[in-house]
Amino acid sequence: MAANFWTSSHCKQLLDSEDLNVVHQLDRERGLTLEECKLIKIHMSNYISRLAQNVKVRQRVVATAITYMRRVYVRLLQDAGMSDATQLTWGIVNDTYKMDLILIHPPHLIALACIYIASVLKDRENSTSWFEELRADMNVVKNIAMEILDFYDSHKMITDERVNAAMSKLPG
């Protein structure tokens, strides 16, 4: 991981959400919709996570990303008197690895969106001033938060039948 995100290869390779939310021509010909492609990505992320747990694979890349956000944002949550939101925030951060957000947004904005969601769910009144002190672009943070919440809505509707129907459209 680079010492400065803004000079890292990750920053230089961020994608636009319009480029990412496209169904490949071959997939369209098979009848896959954008929603079904997202469903398959979520399913495969869950599958890989379960597989990694079962075979006890070390996930160094994920650990590095989590450590980066943990060190900075857990300390900030504690300083802001929001340590009760820490566990919820980590759950949300872990769920973002099942999404394409990391390809579109810098990690610190994803982490802030997770903190924002947790602070709203925990009904923290002082969270607004905390974000103002960070001088974060709250429109971007809220948009990322909405993408995360949309993921949760989609995730609730994942059924084996829907996954199997989408997967059956893929080549054998």
Residue 1 lies in a domain: no
Q: What per-residue confidence (pLDDT) applies to 163?
A: 86
In the chain, the number of structural domains is 1
Q: What percent of the chain has pLDDT over 70?
A: 69
What pLDDT, in 10s, does the model give residues 67-81?
444 455 556 666 666
Top-confidence residue, 12 or 128: 12
Supply the CATH number for residue 96's domain: 1.10.472.10
Residue 129 has pLDDT above 60, yes or no: yes
Number of neighbouring beta carbons within 10 Å of residue 125: 7
Claim: this prediction has a pTM higher than 0.75: no
Residue 98 belongs to what domain range?
Answer: 31-167
Q: Which residues contact 24 (CB under 8 A, 6 or more apart)?
A: none
Residue 64 has pLDDT above 70, yes or no: no
- How far apart, in whole angstroms, are the C-alpha atoms of residue 84 and residue 78? 9
Q: What per-residue confidence (pLDDT) applies to 150?
A: 92
Q: What per-residue confidence (pLDDT) applies to 70?
A: 40
Nearest to 82 by CA among 112, 120, 113, 127: 127
Top-confidence residue, 61 or 142: 142
Top-confidence residue, 131 or 77: 131
Residue 109 lies in a domain: yes
Residue 14 lies in a domain: no
Q: What per-residue confidence (pLDDT) applies to 61?
A: 47
Q: What per-residue confidence (pLDDT) applies to 65?
A: 38
Residue 4 lies in a domain: no
Top-confidence residue, 74 or 24: 24
